[in-house]
Amino acid sequence: MTTPVVFVVGAGVATGAAVARRFAREGYAACVARRQADRLAPLVAQIEAEGGAAHAFELDSTQEDQMVKVVDRIEREVGPIEVAVYNAAIGARFPIAEHPAADFERVWRVNTFGAFLMGREVARRMETREKGTILFTGATAALRGRANLAAFAASKHALKALAQSMARELFPKNIHVAHVVIDGPIDTPLIRRMMPQVFEERPSDGVLNPDDIAEAYWDLHRQRRSAWTQETELRPWKEPW
């Protein structure tokens, strides 16, 4: 029996890692990717210690040849990609009149172009099998722009449009495409350093827990196709919106 694969691009220390762990617990081989593969070693070791299977891949998601090769390798050496998650993202903060063009393009390439490359490559395989799930991690910036965040907002609005376009095309082919808006701070080492006061409040669940986000991703994948979600918003109960 072939082991199904979850392919997570941008498997960092929070959401990406949590998604990989969640699917691994269900018997999926977790193929995790990021720019520096050696930084995936703790995640791979954790999944394996819990009885799961994990494989690390070095990948610059903005490079077409790398994306093609990694997807080909996974399909050939590990198994069919049943679920693909694009979680890679970067930001840049500049007043618009001072915004370097190179930084604007860099943000777009990671947040949008890389998502397109992953989506295209996995869709090619899923179409032949007539099944699959493709999930894109969005952000508050997909809902509204903000001063000094033009690049991030533009790229996340574009990601939202990409996901919607893909869903309209692929739903009838039995491929579930969903865009998940993460509207609020996620419990990460960076956020703990930047917003320590949030974690001192009681109750302390005023930020998004990566494991709870991962549970939502698992639920999306398990939805019956007569009632698929194309877009959903996740936010902690205390988040103003």
pLDDT, tens digit (0-9, with 9 covering 90-100), for 112-134:
999 999 999 999 999 999 999 99
Inter-residue contact 67 to 117 (CB < 8 Å): yes
Which range marks the domain in which residue 194 is found?
5-234
Model pLDDT, residue 174: 98
Q: What is the pTM of this model?
A: 0.95
- Asked if the structure places residue 16 within a domain, the reply is yes
In a domain, 200, yes or no: yes
**Residue 203's pLDDT band (cuts 50, 70, 90):** confident
Asked if residue 239 belongs to a domain, the reply is no
Residues 34-59, mean pLDDT to the nearest whole number: 97
Cα distance from N-terminal residue to C-terminal residue, the chain: 46
Q: Is the pLDDT of residue 204 over 80?
A: no
Residue 70 lies in a domain: yes
CATH number for the domain that contains residue 230: 3.40.50.720
Q: Helix 150-170 and helix 114-129: axis angle, to 10°? A: 10
Q: Are the beta carbons of 179 and 159 closer than 8 angstroms?
A: yes
What is the tally of structural domains in the chain? 1
Answer whether residue 125 is part of any domain: yes
Residue with more model confidence, 195 or 235: 235
Structural domain includes residue 241: no
